Amino acid sequence: DAGVIQSPRHEVTEMGQEVTLRCKPISGHDYLFWYRQTMMRGLELLIYFNNNVPIDDSGMPEDRFSAKMPNASFSTLKIQPSEPRDSAVYFCASSRAGRTGSNNEQFFGPGTRLTVL
């Protein structure tokens, strides 16, 4: 299994530009999570999906952020317009359904390091 795949690995953009981050979860996983990690705030959950449906987007900072999951093998996180304070590492993670044993394990991708100038 290739694990969770994210692209791009690095993104440098200028303030005001649109940024799109991509994620391919592990095949067979029912849950997909988007996180943001900074030194100041640690790892924050932005949004998560169950069977392609957004369940909780309470962590999305503002309307500039949007996420979609058009099918079970692909998700995007979009920032429009981007701002310097959006600079962070964005992780995608996936997990199986259920709550017992190792089903709770979330498998993380390598992350996208975003720099907004």
Partner 1 sequence: QKEVEQDPGPLSVPEGAIVSLNCTYSNSAFQYFMWYRQYSRKGPELLMYTYSSGNKEDGRFTAQVDKSSKYISLFIRDSQPSDSATYLCAMLRIQGAQKLVFGQGTRLTINP
Decide: is 8 part of the binding site for partner 1 (CB under 8 A): no
Q: Classify residue 50 as exposed, middle or buried by CB count within 10 Å of its CB (0-12, 13-18, 19+).
A: middle
Token pair 């099918």 in the structure block, residue: 71
C-alpha of 23 from chain center: 7
Decide: is 42 part of the binding site for partner 1 (CB under 8 A): yes
Stretch that binds partner 1, among 20-28, 39-47, 64-72, 77-85 (CB under 8 A): 39-47
Q: Are 26 and 108 in contact (CB under 8 A)?
A: no
Question: Considering beta carbons, is residue 15 or 43 the nearer one to partner 1?
Answer: 43
Which pair of tokens denotes residue 31?
């849950």
Counting residues that bind partner 1 (by CB under 8 A) gives: 23
Q: How many CB atoms lie within 10 A of CB 116?
A: 20
Decide: is 31 part of the binding site for partner 1 (CB under 8 A): yes
Residues near partner 1 (CB under 8 A) are: 4, 31, 33, 42-43, 45, 48, 50, 55-56, 91, 93, 95, 99, 101-102, 104-106, 108-111
